[in-house]
Structure 1
Amino acid sequence: MNLIVAILPMPLSPTTDFRVIATHSPEDACPEIVLEHTPSRQQLAFEGAQLEGQFAMDNGFILLITDDVPFEERLVIYRLDQKLQVCESITLGAAYTPGIIGDLQILSASQLSFSFFNNEEVWVLELLAKPAWDRKPFQHPVRRTSGVFRRSSLRLYIKIEREQQMPMN
């Protein structure tokens, strides 16, 4: 008798566990946002100024934070573990490029979608049940700012891809 074990995706759900305590915008540095994880009352600081979205999953949280800089916006996506430590982060941004996050929605138990640079493109973020190796971790405008590096690849639990929307007739 063979036993088949399936690894189920980590179900995503919107949460309100985090609230903004303060924001700091020094003139010569990136803005910083201080969030409180209300169930534990733990305070955490992140680069950015605006909490755009927060999602819970079995083993932690996903936070989407922007800088609130109109003509050079960047979006940082943080994956936190259950102890509220940053496990992985991804930055979307390009010099002199505006970005407004829009149409943020849960597609499945392990996928989010949103628009950022314009409404004609859709970004799909997928949470992987097992880590994968990314052989091209630095493709403009996506930068991975944390993760586990090994030789010329990066081990990750978050996969992000840009999909072009078809124009409406």
Structure 2
Amino acid sequence: MNIRKSKEFQAIKSVRKDDSPPMLTIKHCDRADMVELIGGVLEAQFEIDNGYLLLVTEGNPHEEALYIYFLDSSLEIKDSVELSADYTPGILSNVSMIPPNKIRFSFFDKSESWSAAVLHRPKFHFLGNKYPVKRKHPFLYKSWLEIKKVLNGTQNVGIHRIPAPFKCGIRF
């Protein structure tokens, strides 16, 4: 499995209704096929031997969510993950490839890194992921994507710690 940058998709339209996240329609450039995704901006796209890895944001850095999608070669969404934290800004940056099947990026804080890997075959999981990684599947599910927080050069599935508020110079 080899990961490489892609330009196979282009954003067609982004529609936001009420307080719900925007919906993005993308089109495969070589085919007439279109796919609708949660999100508003197609930030990055990668091709993998068995499909595509897409990074989509809502387009609002003040309270942003990052949606990571794995589509198979027939453009069916095989897995998706949301990375978000309430009242926390997020800007996608420092996106890089780590062959053979992984990307690394920063989202909440430029000094923190996350990795997203497309697995060779899906894994079964019971219950959800640790905050701030969110999936739509509440219990037993099959996942192709593995999202990890990178700490000091090693990967850990960690909790994104938001600094505690200060009051009168005392942290609590």
Normalising by structure 1, we get a TM-score of: 0.84
Q: Is the 8 A contact 1:17 1:37 kept in 2?
A: yes
Q: Does 1:70 align with 2:57?
A: no
Runs of at least 5 residues in structure 2 that lack an aligned partner in the other structure: 154-172
Q: Does 1:160 align with 2:147?
A: yes
For residues 44 and 113 of structure 1, the distance between their equivalents in structure 2, rounded to whole angstroms, comes to: 24
- Larger RCO (CA within 8 A; separation ≥ 6): 1
Deviation of 1:125 after TM superposition, in Å, equals: 1.0
Aligned counterparts, 1:1-169, within 5 A:
10-135=1-126, 137-145=128-136, 152-165=139-152
% same residue = 30
Deviation of 1:69 after TM superposition, in Å, equals: 1.9
Specify whether residues 139 and 70 from structure 1 end up closer, same or farther in structure 2 by C-alpha distance, changes over 3 A only: same
Cα displacement string for residues 61-109 of structure 1 (whole angstroms, at most 9, x for unaligned residues)? 1111001122210000011011101110000001111000010000111
Cα displacement string for residues 19-52 of structure 1 (whole angstroms, at most 9, x for unaligned residues)? 0111112233211111111111212211111101
Q: Cα RMSD between the aligned structures?
A: 1.7
Q: Secondary structure at the match of 1:70?
A: coil
Deviation of 1:136 after TM superposition, in Å, equals: 5.0
Deviation of 1:161 after TM superposition, in Å, equals: 0.5
Q: Name the aligned partner's letter for residue 99 of structure 1.
A: G
Q: Name the aligned partner's letter for residue 146 of structure 2.
A: K
Q: Secondary structure at the match of 1:69?
A: coil
Q: Secondary structure at the match of 2:136?
A: strand
Normalising by structure 2, we get a TM-score of: 0.82
What is the number of equivalent residue pairs in this alignment?
153
Cα displacement string for residues 112-153 of structure 1 (whole angstroms, at most 9, x for unaligned residues)? 00000001211011121122233453311001235xx8xx54
For residues 65 and 145 of structure 1, the distance between their equivalents in structure 2, rounded to whole angstroms, comes to: 16
